[in-house]
Structure formats: C-alpha cells, structure tokens
A = this chain, B = another copy of it.
C-alpha cells in the first residue's frame, strides 16, 4: 500500500498534500435537520432546563436538531441528497432541512 503511494507520488504534478491514496476522493455532504418553528421540542426544552440548573443564566431558548454527514461517491449531485432528505432523512411535515455539499 505504501509502495503504491510512493509510486503515485512520483507521478504527481502538484506538490504532495501529505495524503497517500488521494486518488480515492469522496464527496462529502452535510444535512442539517431542525424542527420547524412552532413544533414543540421537548429535547431542547430539557436542555434549556438543565442549563438553568447548572447555573447558566440567560438561556432563553434551545432547539435541538440533527446533523447527518454523508460520504458519497464522487459525482453525487445536490439534487440526489435533497431526494434523500425528502425520502428518509427529514420528516418534512415537522422538520426543515438544509443541504451543504463539499
């Protein structure tokens, strides 16, 4: 494996970035899912209460959501990730989502 890396290094035009196997590039996508405004968030409410108990004053509201980090095959489009959100990752009745690529 390391030998492959060294051979690859020899062929590279750009300076070595410190990573072997850089030929295996994946796309990353990040999806943020939050409860819509007006939807009760008991988990966030529990966190707010706990912060108060710990002596943190001035915490006026807490809402908790999800981050989902996806390692995707190269060339996956944002449209595909949006489809994943609509079909599985977010419950669009009560949750909103935001997709971040790269």
Report which A residues bind B (CB closer than 8 A): 26, 32, 34, 44, 47, 50-51, 54, 56-73, 76, 80, 83-84, 87-89
Chain B contacts of A88 at CB under 8 A?
47, 50-51, 54
Complex: A45 Cα to B97 Cα, angstroms: 20
Chain B contacts of A83 at CB under 8 A?
56
- The chain B residue sitting closest to A35, CB to CB, is B69
Complex: A35 Cα to B71 Cα, angstroms: 15
Complex: A51 Cα to B71 Cα, angstroms: 12
- The chain B residue sitting closest to A70, CB to CB, is B62
Complex: A60 Cα to B25 Cα, angstroms: 12
Between-chain CB contacts (< 8 Å), 11 pairs: A34-B67, A34-B69, A44-B68, A47-B89, A56-B83, A58-B76, A59-B72, A59-B73, A63-B68, A65-B67, A65-B69
